[in-house]
């Protein structure tokens, strides 16, 4: 599997995906006939297929959730707004890094009760002496994210922030490398701004107008303490999405992925996600519509600094994608 760290280390808060885009562009070179970026920053890698009567779009999003500076107090403490679905409790007292490299920590207003923890009550302390000092280092509109730390756990499982969805990008690159042939004209699209409402994929899909499309994203598992009843488990294989709040996947794609997985003996499971959406929704409704689905990487504690994935799942996801690239629908 592609070096995981390489993909999950760069700063890529929504709207600032260019660093990761450059890394992916380099890695995709052998697998693409052309690589371009659109005005939003979506990275579009095109590979001509054996059958050019159909277009396939495969998408994984490059952006991660984070924060943006909105105000600097006289004390030099910094107010921020969330970019994407931040869980305030999991960010409090975490270490952060700004896009320009400045480091800081997230603190809370004093005397807060646990239930009152919210982004509005959070401040970033970068060690500045006062407002003037702080403004020398950061300015309004600067982006920041929690600091990255990758921990290898037992059973080839890893904990880190924002596997969502840089790990999906890694899976897609790996699949492009694994595929021994390409059935349809294929667009590997590494999208921007998914975390604020699948915006990048809308723009890209509206231009590509695919016939078939498959997203790669992470999906929460139901094997954690206090989870709602559900089927997806960590380590139980590639998750073929049936439905989430943004999309009911096309039966054509679900059935095809199932058949490919059975055929190639790739470990798979079905996913129904009751809160959250993915880029598959934008691809399904672009232009006159496409048959859309999603292969998800099972991931515990999504949108926390300790998201956990299982390397075996990654392999299964990549293999299933590769099979789809090779054989199509």
Partner 1 sequence: MERVFELAGLLTALPSVSGYEEAAFKGLEEICGDMFDEAFTNPAGSFVGIVRCGKPDAKALILDAHLDEIGFIVSQVHDDGFLSVVNAGGVDTRVLPASEVTIYGKKAIRGIFTSKPPHLQSPGEADKKLELKDIYIDTGMSGDELKKLVRIGDFAEIHSPLMRLKNNFAVSKSMDDKICIAQIIRAIELIDRDRLNIDIYCIFSGGEEIGGKGAATAAFAIDADWAVALDVCNCRMPEGRNYLENIKPGDGSVISYSSTTGRAVTTSLLSCAEDSGIKFQLRGEPGRTGTNAHYIQISRAGIPCTNLSVPLRYMHTGVEVISLEDVKTGAEIIARFAEKLGGDING
Partner 2 sequence: MADLFERLCSAFGPSSCEDEVRNIIIDEIKPYATSYRTDKVGNLIAFKKGKKPRDGKLLFSAHMDEVGFMARHIDEDGFIYFGTVGGIDRRVMSGRRIVLGENRIPAVIAGKAIHLQKPEEKGVVPTVDKLFIDIGSVSREDTLKYVKAGDLAVFEPNFERFGDNKIKSKAIDDRFGCFMLCELIKEDLEYDTYFAFVIQEEEGCRGAAGVAYSEKADQVVVVEATTAGDIHGAPESGKACILGEGAVISFMDGGTVYSPDVLQKLIGICEENKIKYQIKNLVAGGNDAQAYQRSYFPTKVVAISAPVRYIHSASSVADERDFDEIKKLLIKITEQGIA
Question: Can you give the binding site for partner 1, defined by CB under 8 A?
Answer: 211, 228-231, 242-243, 248-252, 254, 270, 272, 274, 284-285, 287-292
Among 40, 92, 135, 242, binds partner 2 (CB under 8 A): 40
8-state DSSP, 304: S
Phi, psi of 318 (to 5 degrees): -60, -40
Smallest distance from partner 1 to CB 272, Å: 5
Smallest distance from partner 1 to CB 31, Å: 26
Residue 79 binds partner 2, judged by CB under 8 A:
yes
- What are the strands of the beta sheet with 151-152, ordered from one edge? 151-152, 157-160, 307-310
Angle at 144 between CA 140 and CA 149, to 5 degrees: 165
194 flagged as catalytic: yes
- Tokens describing residue 173: 């690159």
| From 17, 194, 271, 307, active-site residue | 194
Query: Hey, CA dihedral for 12, 15, 18, 20, is it positive or negative?
Result: positive
- Tokens describing residue 238: 């590639």
d(CA 101, CA 104): 10
d(CA 268, CA 262): 8
Site string for partner 2, 170-199 (x = CB under 8 A): -----------------------x--x--x
Q: With CB cut-offs between 5 and 8 Å by kind, which of partner 2, partner 1, none does residue 16 bind?
A: partner 2
Span 130-169, contacts to partner 2 by CB under 8 A:
140-141
Smallest distance from partner 2 to CB 72, Å: 9
Q: With CB cut-offs between 5 and 8 Å by kind, which of partner 2, partner 1, none does residue 40 bind?
A: partner 2
Smallest distance from partner 2 to CB 71, Å: 4
Among 33, 132, 287, 306, binds partner 2 (CB under 8 A): 287
Smallest distance from partner 1 to CB 82, Å: 25
What is the full DSSP assignment across 242-296?
EE-SS-B--HHHHHHHHHHHHHHT--EEEEE-SS---THHHHHHSTT--EEEEEE
Task: Tell me how far apart the 2 most distant CA atoms of the chain are, in Å.
Answer: 64
CB 37 within 8 A of CB 44: yes
Q: How many residues does the chain have?
A: 329
Catalytic (active-site) positions = 194
**What residues line the site for partner 2 (CB under 8 A)?**
14-16, 38-42, 68, 70-71, 73, 79, 81, 83, 140-141, 193, 196, 199, 202-204, 206-207, 287
């Amino acid at each position: 599997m592609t070096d995981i760290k390489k993909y999950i280390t760069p700063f890529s808060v929504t709207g600032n995906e260019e660093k990761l885009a450059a890394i992916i562009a380099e890695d995709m070179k052998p697998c693409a006939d052309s690589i371009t970026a659109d005005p939003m920053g979506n990275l579009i890698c095109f590979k001509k297929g054996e059958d050019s009567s159909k277009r396939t779009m495969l998408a994984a999003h490059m952006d991660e959730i984070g924060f943006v500076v909105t105000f600097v107090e006289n004390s030099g403490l910094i107010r921020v707004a969330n970019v994407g679905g931040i869980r305030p409790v999991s960010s409090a007292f975490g270490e952060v890094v700004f896009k320009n490299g400045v480091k800081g920590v997230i603190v809370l207003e004093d005397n807060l009760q646990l239930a009152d923890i919210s982004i509005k009550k959070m401040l970033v302390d970068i060690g500045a002496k006062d407002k003037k000092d702080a403004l020398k280092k950061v300015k309004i509109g600067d982006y920041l994210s929690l600091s990255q730390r990758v921990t290898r756990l037992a059973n080839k499982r890893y904990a880190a922030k924002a596997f969502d969805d840089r790990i999906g990008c890694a899976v897609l690159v790996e699949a492009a490398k694994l595929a021994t042939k390409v059935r349809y004209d294929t667009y590997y699209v590494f999208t921007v701004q998914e975390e604020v409402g699948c915006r990048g994929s809308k723009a890209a899909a509206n231009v590509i107008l695919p016939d078939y499309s498959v997203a790669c994203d992470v999906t929460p598992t139901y094997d954690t303490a206090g989870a709602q009843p559900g089927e997806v488990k960590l380590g139980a294989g590639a998750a073929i999405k049936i439905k989430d709040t943004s999309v009911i996947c096309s039966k054509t794609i679900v059935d095809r992925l199932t058949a490919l997985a059975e055929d190639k003996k790739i470990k798979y499971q079905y996913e129904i996600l009751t809160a959250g959406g993915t880029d598959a929704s934008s691809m399904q409704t672009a232009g006159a519509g496409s048959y859309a689905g999603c292969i998800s990487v099972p991931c515990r504690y999504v949108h926390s600094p300790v998201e956990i994935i299982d390397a075996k799942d990654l392999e299964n996801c990549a293999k299933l994608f590769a099979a789809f690239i090779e054989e199509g629908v």
